[in-house]
Amino acid sequence: MPSTISPSVSSPAPSSPPPRQHNLPRSISVVVPCFNEEEVIEQLRARLLLVLNALNIPYEVVLVDDGSSDGTWQLLQQFQQADPHFKVVRLSRNFGHQVAFTCGLDQANGETVLIMDADLQDPPELLPQMVELWSRGYDVVYGQRRTRNGDGSLKRFFAFAFYRLFERLTKITIPRDTGDFRLMDRRAVHALQTLREHHRFIRGMVSWIGFPQIALAYDRPERLAGVTKYPFKRSLFLAIEAITSFSYAPLRLASYLGAILSIIAFVYILVVIGLKIAGINFPGYTSIMGSILLLGGVQLLVLGLIGEYVGRIFEQGQSRPLYLIQEIHGEPLPTTPALKDSGK
């Protein structure tokens, strides 16, 4: 186990759920989206198998190739041919990280499902601690980053600001400093699968569905190899996706801004009329142009916000599938009748 991993369990909620009747799940699925990860995929496989074999329960590893352009898909096929525990899926193109997670969840059959990234910044060695918390009755056990090794100061500040801004603008609370790394019970997975919006923010969606959830704090290691698939620009777009998917606060802010500017404009008109009656006139091209540019900029900003939401309605109304599968290899993990009947 890498020395950077130092887990600790955060304090449980005041009303802890009743413990489960069995300490280990009857089966487990591990879902990993992969995009140009040929440099780390071998180590991911080795570390996953070490942890999963030690648990001594039926398992499957669902690897989703999200349109990789390197040798990732060829390696995934080799894994599946050498080990029937692997199920590999190749999407028809790059649909994005969150959609690839969704595809993996749709293919997973385990009583519990672990979702994690391929870069090994989500340490698979935390799985036994997650399973132990699951046995206490929690439907979702999420990894919470105590430290973020390898991230620059700008990205850390952006992450810090995002979670706190998201809390203020939305009606749901997602745990601070978390990613998508989490273990979910079949009941939570079924609930998540009913949410089919195109603009996806999985950690927000998992918080929205509710059910008992608990954090497992850990020190996040640096990326093992390769480059991050979430540079600052892409992280910014994900933040916009998250806020506009769970809140209409930006539209309300635009309304407030319009109302404030209207009041200022009305007061300004009264002042100008009063000065005109008093015989005072201050001709000024600069002030007029400044007012026009200010109002024009605000109008364009408001139109842009409205367009963001209208675009989402348009895409959702097209009813296109979230993803298309080009190839799939491997047998599904058998689902017991009890799981089929109860959703547990």
Residue 61 pLDDT grade (very low, low, confident, very high; cuts 50, 70, 90)? very high
Query: Of 158 and 333, which is predicted with more confidence?
Result: 333
* Range 8-246+323-333 classified under CATH 3.40.50.720: no
Query: Which phi and psi angles does 289 have, rounded to 5°?
Result: -65, -35
For 334, half-sphere exposure in the C-beta direction (CA atoms, 13 angstrom radius) is 6
Give the dihedral sign, CA 343/126/143/44. negative
DSSP assignments along 299-323, one per residue? HHHHHHHHHHHHHHHHHHHTT--S-
What span, in angstroms and rounded, lies between the C-alpha atoms of 72 and 41? 8
Query: What does DSSP assign to residue 335?
Result: P
Contact predicate 122/179, CB 8 Å:
yes
What pLDDT shows up at residue 315?
A: 66
**Mean pLDDT, rounded, of the chain:** 77
Token digits of residue 93: 């193109």
Residue 103 pLDDT grade (very low, low, confident, very high; cuts 50, 70, 90)? very high
- Which residue has 């995002």 as its token pair? 162
What pLDDT shows up at residue 115?
A: 92
What span, in angstroms and rounded, lies between the C-alpha atoms of 80 and 274? 81
Query: Of 9 and 241, which is predicted with more confidence?
Result: 241
What pLDDT shows up at residue 1?
A: 46
Considering the entire predicted model, what is its pTM?
A: 0.69
Query: Of 145 and 247, which is predicted with more confidence?
Result: 145
What pLDDT shows up at residue 342?
A: 46
What pLDDT shows up at residue 76?
A: 92
Find the range with the poorest average confidence among 13-17, 227-231, 288-292.
227-231
User: 232, 233, 215: which is closest to 179 by C-alpha?
Assistant: 215
Token digits of residue 5: 């991993």
Q: What does the pLDDT average to over 309-326?
A: 74
Contact predicate 146/68, CB 8 Å:
no
Domains of the chain by residue range = 8-246+323-333, 249-317
Query: Of 272 and 184, which is predicted with more confidence?
Result: 184
In a 10 Å sphere around its CB, with 0-12 CB exposed, 13-18 middle and 19+ buried, how is residue 1 labelled? exposed
Token digits of residue 235: 């992280």
The end-to-end CA distance of the chain, in Å, is: 31
What pLDDT shows up at residue 30?
A: 94
Find the range with the poorest average confidence among 72-81, 121-130, 237-246.
237-246
What pLDDT shows up at residue 31?
A: 94
What pLDDT shows up at residue 16?
A: 81
Pairing of strands 59-65, 140-148: unpaired
What pLDDT shows up at residue 199?
A: 76
Residue 3 pLDDT grade (very low, low, confident, very high; cuts 50, 70, 90)? very low
Query: What's the pLDDT tens digit per position in 196-211?
Result: 877 777 777 888 888 8
What pLDDT shows up at residue 161?
A: 66
What pLDDT shows up at residue 11?
A: 43
Query: Of 272 and 19, which is predicted with more confidence?
Result: 19
User: 194, 129, 131: which is closest to 343 by C-alpha?
Assistant: 194
What pLDDT shows up at residue 207?
A: 82
